[in-house]
Structure 1
Amino acid sequence: MTIPDAGTDDESGLTIRCRDDLTVSVRFSDRFSFDQDSVHYAVELEAPGLSARNDEVVAWVWDSDLVAFLEELATDFRGWSDARVWQNDERALMVSATFRPGGHVALTWTVRPRPWGSGGWSASVTTVLEAGEQMASLAADVRYFLAARPL
């Protein structure tokens, strides 16, 4: 389930919670742009014993689109066999989707520093959503979050 966060003035975020364990979440926040070519944002992963955040995820206009990936998953609500994977151009955010019995989609969200980042760490959590309507809602919420704002 996705929860648009109430923000202050022009700042808002988006939280994705696992339907099977509400303590597991992914939060998109702190969106900003330097120019018309990109949107920068933070992704935070939370689970019991885990808190990880990448402050510098970038969506480029020429990048493969996270929203299109999520919309395709929603369209294929009857399922698919192999894992489907999306990652941004700099591999700071990766999403792997698998279809589970009972009409559910497991999304494994992985964050890591950009290639020039230090430490060589990565962290992942898995959220489970209902195929179809919840996936379509997620795609729409991510589209709204990433929508370009006037500079």
Structure 2
Amino acid sequence: MTTPDVGTDDEGSVTIRCQDNAFVDVTFCDRFSFDADSVHYAVELRAPGLTARVNEVVAWIWDSDLTAFLEELAADYRGWDGERSWQTNDKDLTVSAVFRSGGHVGLTWALRPWPQAAGGWAASVTTRLEAGEQMTSLAADVRAFLTEEHP
């Protein structure tokens, strides 16, 4: 089920909007693939005064899967202690999750292209979603985006 805070659009992208501030969002877009071993896509972060984009985040089939991470968060809708995190093999996209009061999850999305390069940059935004239905919807939408299954 797609909510106003998480959704796919006709262009094959997924946008996650913060329920506290609709001007804060994360978009997965521009998916492409060179081979059966990987999926490449862009990630955009937006907040008042901030726009950041990494054009080529890579998901390898043998990597720890972002979808599985999001599904685990959704399954633990009653909460957990501490912070959980996931990152791409290249460490250019990191997602950290904290369970917050009121049954919400704070997801911090951090972009850091070329993390080993001198003079690199990093940017992050935090979205807040409902721990149950919105997290389940996010996991399903990201799975569909990464596997190119459109509803």
Q: Do Structure 1 and Structure 2 share a fold, with TM-score over 0.5?
A: yes
Distance apart, 1:120 and its partner CA: 1.3
* 8 Å CA contact 1:56, 1:114 repeated in 2: no
| Correspondence for 1:17 | 17
Pair 1:4-2:15 in alignment: no
Alignment-mate amino acid for residue 6 of structure 1: D
* 8 Å CA contact 2:114, 2:120 repeated in 1: no
| Correspondence for 2:136 | 136
TM-score (norm 2): 0.92
C-alpha RMSD of matched pairs (Å): 1.4
Structure 1, unpaired ranges of 5+: none
* 8 Å CA contact 1:39, 1:148 repeated in 2: no
Distance apart, 1:3 and its partner CA: 2.0
What SS class does the counterpart of residue 42 from structure 2 fall into?
Answer: strand
Structure 2, unpaired ranges of 5+: none
Alignment-mate amino acid for residue 20 of structure 2: D
Distance apart, 1:119 and its partner CA: 3.3
* 8 Å CA contact 1:74, 1:131 repeated in 2: yes
C-alpha separation between the residues in 2 aligned to 1:148 and 1:130? 25
C-alpha separation between the residues in 2 aligned to 1:114 and 1:125? 19
Distance apart, 1:5 and its partner CA: 1.7
Q: After the TM superposition, which parts of structure 1 deviate over 3 Å for at least 4 consecutive aligned residues? A: 114-119
- Residues 103 and 90 of structure 1: is their aligned pair in 2 closer, same or farther, counting only changes over 3 Å? same
Q: How many residues align?
A: 145
C-alpha separation between the residues in 1 aligned to 2:48 and 2:119? 22
Question: Percent identity among equivalent residues?
Answer: 65
| Correspondence for 2:82 | 82
What SS class does the counterpart of residue 138 from structure 2 fall into?
Answer: helix
